[in-house]
Amino acid sequence: MKVLFLIIISLFVIFFSCTEEIEIPKNNISIKNDFSIREGKRLFLYYCSPCHGENGNGSGKFFGYGLKPKPPDFTTEEFIKNRNDELLILAISGGSISVGKSNLCPPWGNTFHKEEIKFLVDFIKKIKRVPKKSEIK
Ligand code: HEC
């Protein structure tokens, strides 16, 4: 009876230790990219969406109305066509004035770590590639 009890207990232990194992997909690069986009999205929704809108199309609920010029529509081809990573990083770190625009987009270089600015860039690029609202929400 004792033996049976021990067997049952060890089966339980084996079962639970197996289910806790995390399966690591082979392509680590995509995990890193996924993380970056998710983090970028989190930061964007909190810090940027009041002006840029939750889906990045430039119609922020809080400040979007009074801004002239309005924040650009990140979901269009035109926006991303002429902007590479370096330009986006510069615009975010130093604000829109650092890329020769108005001073309406604040500089974020002192708020975020370089890595976080890269997360934001990765997310903004993702918005462009997947313009459907349902997919970036
Ligand atoms: C107070 C409102 C406001 C907030 C908050 C804001 N932006 Fe902006 N942003 C703007 C406006 C307005 C423009 C357009 C400026 C122009 O064209 O003169 C802009 C432009 C930009 C551009 C395009 C620059 C270019 O190359 O033309 C990027 C990229 C950008 N913002 C990123 C961000 C990110 C990332 C955040 C959050 C961390 C953010 N913004 C927060 C208002 C804002």
Determine the distance separating the centroid of ligand 1 and the alpha carbon of 17, expressed in angstroms: 48
Q: Which of 30, 46, 58 is nearest to 128 (CA)?
A: 58
Q: How far is CA 125 from CA 6, 10, 77, in A?
A: 56, 50, 10
| CATH superfamily entry for domain 27-136 | Cytochrome c-like domain (1.10.760.10)
Q: Taking the model in full, what pTM does it have? A: 0.79
Instruction: Chunk the chain into consecutive blocks of 10 residues (it has 137) and report each block's average pLDDT, rounded to whole numbers.
Output: 78 61 56 90 96 91 80 90 94 98 97 97 80 50
Where are the domains positioned within the chain? 27-136
Provide the pLDDT for residue 64.
62
Question: What's the count of helices (H) and strands (E) in the chain, helices before strands?
Answer: 7, 0
Ligand 1, pocket residues at CB < 6 Å? 47-48, 50-52, 63, 67, 69, 71-72, 83, 87-88, 91-92, 96, 99, 101-102, 104-106, 108, 120
Atom index in ligand 1 nearest the CA of residue 111 equals 38
